[in-house]
Amino acid sequence: DTGVSQDPRHKITKRGQNVTFRCDPISEHNRLYWYRQTLGQGPEFLTYFQNEAQLEKSRLLSDRFSAERPKGSFSTLEIQRTEQGDSAMYLCASSLAMSGPSLNEQFFGPGTRLTVL
Partner 1 sequence: RKEVEQDPGPFNVPEGATVAFNCTYSNSASQSFFWYRQDCRKEPKLLMSVYSSGNEDGRFTAQLNRASQYISLLIRDSKLSDSATYLCVVNRDDKIIFGKGTRLHILP
Binding footprint of partner 1 on the chain (CB under 8 A): 31, 33, 35, 40-45, 48, 55-56, 91, 97, 101-111
3 vs 16, beta carbon nearer partner 1: 3
Minimum CB separation of residue 109 from partner 1 in Å reads: 6
Minimum CB separation of residue 103 from partner 1 in Å reads: 5
10 vs 15, beta carbon nearer partner 1: 10
41 vs 115, beta carbon nearer partner 1: 41
Query: How many angstroms separate the CA atoms of 82 and 53, rounded?
Result: 25
Please state the separation of Cα 27 from the chain's center in Å: 16
- Decide if 92 contacts 46 (C-beta within 8 A): no
Q: Environment class of residue 113 by beta-carbon count within 10 Å: exposed (0-12), middle (13-18) or buried (19+)?
A: middle
- Decide if 60 contacts 46 (C-beta within 8 A): yes
Minimum CB separation of residue 104 from partner 1 in Å reads: 5
Minimum CB separation of residue 16 from partner 1 in Å reads: 27
